[in-house]
Amino acid sequence: MDTTKTPDPTAPEADAAPADLKKAEADRAAEAGTEARPEAEPAGAVTAGTDTDPDDDEFDEEPVEDEVRSAGVGSGAAAVAAAGLGLVALSGSWVSRVLAERQTLIGQIEGNKSAPPKDQIASLYGDAWHLTALANGVLATLALLLAVFVLARPAFGAPGRTLPNWVRAVAWAAVALGALGMIVFAVMYFLPLPEVPAAAQP
């Protein structure tokens, strides 16, 4: 009677090392965990609806900021120029003084000593005074128009654009100086010339 036992086909092989079995089980567990875990998005991945370039906002804003800055500089320069013209119109300019002296010289050359004193005063002094007032009045008008343009420009520009406070202050000062210069011009131009008393006439 043969007492040799036939090996069970379902039994694990006897020569399989325990270390190999543990390694196989660990590999299967790692594969199962990898499949269950969602893949992480790589660094720098872009999602739908997200701005891809963070520098785009800077590029979009820089032209607007440059435009606003240039507009503010131009308005400030115009306001300062208007205020300067208003001051010159009140104090008198070198151009008006030269024109007045030239007109006085013309009156001396063309003057008639036999003319009545009223005509002599008008030719020697009256024309020069009127020319001085006219030159200063032109400067005052330019100052007023330039200041009004500076104040009214934001209304015709981009919506929401306003002038800096110091630009508005200088522009309003130029408006006041220009208006005052025009008043002085009108008074000087239409002021009657002095007359020689009748007792002093020959």
From first to last of the 202 residues of the chain, give the pLDDT tens digit: 455 555 555 554 444 455 666 677 777 766 665 554 445 555 544 554 455 555 555 444 445 455 555 567 888 899 999 999 999 999 888 888 898 889 888 888 887 777 777 888 888 888 888 999 999 999 999 999 999 999 998 877 656 678 888 999 999 999 999 999 999 999 988 988 887 776 555 5
Counting the structural domains of the chain, the total is 1
Q: Is the dihedral of CA 169, 183, 84, 154 positive or negative?
A: positive
Q: Give a yes or no: residue 164 inside a domain.
A: yes
Domain containing 184: what range?
Answer: 70-194
Q: Give a yes or no: residue 44 inside a domain.
A: no
Q: Give a yes or no: residue 185 inside a domain.
A: yes
What contacts 157, CB < 8 A, 6 or more positions away?
Answer: 71
What contacts 88, CB < 8 A, 6 or more positions away?
Answer: 136, 139
Q: Give a yes or no: residue 42 inside a domain.
A: no
Predicted local confidence at residue 88, as pLDDT:
92
Residue 75 tokens read as 């308005």
DSSP 63-99: HHHHHHHHHHHHHHHHHHHHHHHHHHHHH--HHHHHH
The burial class, CB within 10 Å (0-12 / 13-18 / 19+), for 149 is: middle
Predicted local confidence at residue 59, as pLDDT:
45
Is 87:135 a contact under the CB 8 Å cutoff? no
* CATH at 168: 1.20.140
Predicted local confidence at residue 158, as pLDDT:
59
Predicted local confidence at residue 183, as pLDDT:
94
What contacts 110, CB < 8 A, 6 or more positions away?
Answer: 123
Q: Give a yes or no: residue 184 inside a domain.
A: yes
Q: Give a yes or no: residue 24 inside a domain.
A: no
Q: Give a yes or no: residue 9 inside a domain.
A: no
Claim: this prediction has a pTM higher than 0.75: no
Predicted local confidence at residue 16, as pLDDT:
47
Q: Give a yes or no: residue 153 inside a domain.
A: yes
